[in-house]
Amino acid sequence: MEKKYEKDDRAIQSLSEIQYKVTQKDGTEPPFKNEFWDNKEEGLYVDVVSGEPLFSSKQKYDSGTGWPSFYDVVDKNFIVEKVDRKLFRKRTEIRSKHGDSHLGHVFNDGPNPTGLRYCINSAALRFIAKSELETEGYGEYLNLFSGEAE
């Protein structure tokens, strides 16, 4: 049975103030003062509202910005890109497809192999450790952590 992802009103009601500001009001959390910017544990990052699988720790790198940064997404079907002109310049906003959560932005200054930097707010993410993927219903993503392939 395929897992269904959707915007969950109960999840929205249980968000912290910063999670709500980021995901529902397109906010940004402070750099270097957020939960996952320096997390090095193996696992999967999912949308805090819908549970959509977004990023793998295997795709995470230290961009020096103070926010979690990834060079690729787990599945592009769970990401929506939108033009953002809020800071007097054109940027590409990243949102979750089903949860419609504001996640952050993507830039063209990342490392190989993609050259992309997905600069993401920790407040938009829930981290699921590799050891908990099966019990949390994300067992199909365990293959992301086998061997050296990314």
Which candidate, 45, 47, 49, places its Cα nearest to that of 13? 49
119 is catalytic: yes
The pLDDT tens digits of the residues spanning 45-103 come to 999 999 999 999 999 999 999 999 999 999 999 999 998 877 677 889 999 999 999 99
Widest CA span of the chain, in angstroms?
45
Q: What residue spans define the domains of the chain?
A: 9-132
Q: Which CATH class is domain 9-132?
A: mainly beta
pLDDT at 150: 41
User: pLDDT digit string (tens) for 30-59?
Assistant: 999 999 999 999 999 999 999 999 999 999
Catalytic residue among 54, 73, 116, 119: 119
